[in-house]
Structure 1
Amino acid sequence: MGRSYKHATVIGASLGGLCAARVLSDVCERVTVYERDELPDRPANRNAVPQGRHVHLLMARGAQEFESLFPGLLDDMVADGVPILENRPDCIHFGAAGHVLGTAHRLQDEFTAYVPSRPQLEWQIRRRVIAIENVEIICEGVTEPTYDTALGRVTGVLLDSGDAVPADLVVDATGRGTRLPAWLDKWGYPRPREDTVDVGIAYTSHQFHIPEGLLAEKVVVAGASRAQPVGIGMLFYEDGNWNVTTFGIAKVEPPQTVAQILDLADDILPAHVSAALRRGTPLGEMAFHKYPTSRWRRYDDLERFPAGIIPFGDAVVSFNPTFGQGMTMTAIQAANLRAVIESGEPDLAPRLAKATAKTTWPVWLMTAIGDLALHNATGESKWWYKPVGGLFDQFLGAAETDPVLAEWFLRRFSLLDSLYMVPSPRLVGRTIRHNMKLWLAEKRSA
């Protein structure tokens, strides 16, 4: 493929910005990534990524997408100690909306998931981007893009230093705090409408060192529900320690002390897990974070949009992080960007917005129904969200003891087989029969 652009600039060295830079490196003579934050030369938490101190799970689909962008990434992570989720029932304890799945049976179809910490994954990807010959990462802030009214396009970026840097293409990868809607307003374009769900999530996280041999699991998740609005996630990371994140939904506060974390673990985790956690040693300081609103900026609906700039990553859509799908959806956006560029057609921004909307919609719908119908969130809710949420609650109840249903859910939740969480009529019938048998057995024993 020939070089379509002389120079592209990416605002933000987030995972989204790094993935965008990797894709653009194939079609640009030069790519410059600008990042206001200092970038460590090893895996480490960054001030600009406060959510990085909390648990992150790289789902199987996300691992595949990142590997396609950065060949050898997964093997190198494993060599650096990143755990692999093996296909064993004792390797994961997964709870969703008050139901526990995947612990009683071995899944039939093999698929591999990886458990890097957010700093580890970001560092692995960043060092690969730095190694690309025509990509440069500069630790300097961008004040705003430069816009030419006569041309109707963005022509570069203005740095905090006052220097203007020309570019054929600018990528806004500044995350949830993006100022692109305000810039559009300034340039005379409409702002995108925003779909939102007020999830009201608050996090508390603390690292623990648990003596070796106490837990076979690598991932322990007990999701929140209407009845239990506080959940917990425990992930075993490459440093040999466990990151333990507790979270409250619908503005319910999570534990604020180590003692409260341990008490919550006693209440909602298997006894052997909470016992192991109590034998663990707390490390470092506690971390806090809040995520009030999931937000999708609908650039795909705009009829007018300036040339020369594209929004990317969380600047377009940020999902409820307790579902663990954000990094995977960023990787899918990168695949969309690559496909749109390779098509060779003009109007990059509108076509990317449409492609991203196509992959975003089913996942956004799934999480919105889960939040609004099952997690006490507030926001615009269609009349059918509640009955669909109720039916899915019944499906999850059956999946607790039916390995076929559990496997279907876990693979779809991991975005492997499809982005749509819609059971087939056969699976719906299986759910009804399964729950009917359980109801009859309970009635006979009463």
Structure 2
Amino acid sequence: MRRNLQSRSHHAVVIGGSIAGLCAARVLSDHFDRVTIYERDELPDEPVNRSAIPQGLHVHLLMARGAQELESVFPGLLADMVDAGVPVIENRPESIHFSAAGHVLGTGQQMLGEFTAYVPSRGHLEWQIRNRVLSIPNVSVARQVVSQPRFDPATRSVTGVVLDDGETVAADLVVEASGRGSRLPVWLEEWGFGRPREDQIQVGVTYASQRVHIPEGLIAEKMVVCGAALDRPRGMGMLFHEDGIWIVTAFGVAKTEPPRDFAGICALAETLLPPHISAALRAGDPVGKMNFHRYPTRKWRRYDKMAELPSGIIPFGDAVASLNPTFGQGVTMAALQANNLRAVLDDGTDNLVARLAKATARTTLPVWLMNAVADIEEHGAQGPRPWWYGPLFGLFKQFVGAAETDPVLAEWFLRRTSLLDSLWVVPPPRLVGRAIRNNVRLWRAERQRMHTGGSAAAHSAVVPAAERTEPTLSTPAE
């Protein structure tokens, strides 16, 4: 039995006051007379990271798609962040150093289309969003713990929540946004619905981050990213935030440990980053202590696959899917889900829970698959490996290799990794042709160098990517 809500219902409860929970509350405020957010952590009235968000002490980027989605939920947010000093990354080559699969994209290339991202610290972004949500007249926040939802077996629906002091609060809809540690699967099993299938990949990511003051004028870039690779399981990220301080994060994948001190981070930078960036980092002064964080497993709870779900409760944010944080997509996915919630509510509340689960799965699936291929084929993660992962990643590496020296291909790639364009769209024939011509040209240049005995310096100038000894047109064996 499913309960139909009225066109505007009385009370909605949100469990969790993180960015996902705040986004949900903003959308719900247009459809409910009253929205209450329950959060156990103290919510600061200044732009600082909360103790309940350990990953907030590491590099954070609001990628282009996430910026668009959040602006649609919170009009004026981006302009206010810029006014507060949040750096903006545009599609100018001097703004970005980006390395993926061993290839550097963007550097020295003037891309054509619009590509704008923002670099707020996690604490600042959450503070901006929280101020907007709590200024809505029908939204309030209570610093209390929700013990469990209140379930009515007769109607097979959730009718409210029970707080840790025993108080029961009635609600027409409960949003479970407590994060990846959500107990909703346990509750569903207790209520007789069974647990959702849980897809997992063991990524074994460990972070080490340090705030650093780097003298002004040493680095033109505002974003520096060097991803890990199968033969190089450590990567780095450097982002310049609104307080004038860089956050520098070194990470290891497949259970590889990052450096444990600032000297180690500087030494790693010298092996991964351009000399002017690593030299600027060494010239910097560490601010505060280093912070460490482990992320062993990414999970996707497949509520969309369940035969039946109770009405009156919806999972949200990381309670549904938590992705490898090295890809920087968490806030973007929360904003996408908020717009999914808005769309299903605008279409009516009949069968709301199942419709939202399906909508969330549609936006999650391509991102999950893209990350899974990279995690397993490039980062040594452990998880299901369909036969097509290997060939697909081989084609991906060939395309990215060509994109290293072609701004049109680089833009096509970066727009998809930023989720601006659909991940389902394969490169059109004209781009495939560009990649083939580019790779053939580079292969011929290398063969000519080898034939004439050219210098290593000349070789590196002609072939800036990894060593090539054969054309990169054939798909490598899985």
TM bin (shorter chain)? over 0.9
Question: What residue number does 1:109 align with?
Answer: 113
- The Cα of 1:180 is off from its aligned counterpart by 0.3
How far apart are the structure 2 equivalents of 1:194 and 1:429? 40
Match of 2:95 in 1: 91
Structure 1 residue 405 displacement after superposition: 0.7
CA contact (8 A) 1:142 1:159 kept: yes
The letter of the residue matching 2:159 is T
Which whole-Å CA distance do the structure 1 matches of 2:444 and 2:85 have between them?
Answer: 49
- What is the deviation of 1:423? 2.0
Do the aligned partners of 2:38 and 2:142 also contact (CA within 8 Å) in 1?
yes
CA distance in 1 between partners of 2:121 and 2:208 (Å): 16
Name stretches of at least 5 consecutive residues in structure 2 with no aligned partner. 1-5, 451-478
Where does residue 476 of structure 2 map in the other structure? none
1:125 to 129, 132, 156: 129
Aligned-partner SS, 1:188: coil
Q: Distance in 1 between matches of 2:98 and 2:119?
A: 14
- Per the alignment, residue 213 of structure 1 pairs with 217
- Compute the displacement of 1:86 (Å): 2.5
Deviations 1:94-150 (A, max 9, x none): 011211101121110123211111111000000100000000011111111111111
Instruction: Report the alpha carbon displacement of residue 292 of structure 1 after superposing the two structures with TM.
Output: 0.7
Q: Where in structure 2 are the equivalents of 1:195-210 lying within 5 Å?
A: 195-210=199-214
The CA deviation at 1:345 is: 4.7
Q: 2:202 & 2:122 partners in 1: Cα distance?
A: 24
**1:3 positional shift:** 5.1
Question: How many residue pairs were aligned?
Answer: 445
How many percent identity over aligned positions?
A: 64
- Structure 1 vs Structure 2 CA RMSD: 1.0
Q: Is the 8 A contact 1:156 1:164 kept in 2?
A: yes
- Looking at structure 2, the residues matched to 425 and 336 of structure 1 have their Cα atoms a distance apart, in angstroms, of 32
- Per the normalisation by structure 2, the TM-score is 0.92
Q: State the distance in 1 between where 2:273 and 2:240 align.
A: 16
Answer yes or no: is 1:299 the counterpart of 2:335.
Answer: no
Match of 1:74 in 2: 78
Conserved in 2, the CA contact under 8 Å of 1:197 and 1:380?
A: yes
The aligned runs of 1:286-365 (5 Å cut-off) are 286-365=290-369
For 1:226 and 1:358, locate their aligned partners in 2 and report how far apart those are by CA, in whole Å. Answer: 29
- The whole-number CA distance in structure 1 between the counterparts of 2:302 and 2:207 is 27
What pairs up with 1:105-254 in 2 under 5 angstroms? 105-254=109-258
Task: Determine which structure has more spread, i.e. the larger CA radius of gyration.
Answer: 2
Deviations 1:29-58 (A, max 9, x none): 000000001110011111211000011110
User: Structure 1 CA distance, aligned partners of 2:226 and 2:125?
Assistant: 24
Rounded to whole Å, the distance in 2 between the matches of 1:385 and 1:3 is: 45
> What corresponds to 1:275 in structure 2?
279
Q: Is the 8 A contact 2:238 2:248 kept in 1?
A: yes
Give how far 1:326 is off.
Answer: 1.3
- What CA deviation, in whole Å up to 9, does each residue of 1:366-416 have, x standing for no partner? 110111111111100100101111111111111111111100001111111
Alpha carbons of structure 1 residues 43 and 421: separation in structure 2 relative to 1, 3 Å = farther
Q: SS at the partner of 1:90?
A: helix
TM-score w.r.t. the length of structure 1 is 0.98
Match of 2:19 in 1: 15
3-state SS of the aligned residue for 2:180?
A: helix
Measured in 1, the distance between the counterparts of 2:186 and 2:383 equals 23
Q: After superposition, give the CA deviation of every residue in 1:231-270 in whole Å (9 maximum; x if it has no partner).
A: 0000000000000011000110011111100100111011
Which of structure 1's runs of 4+ aligned residues deviate more than 6 A?
A: none
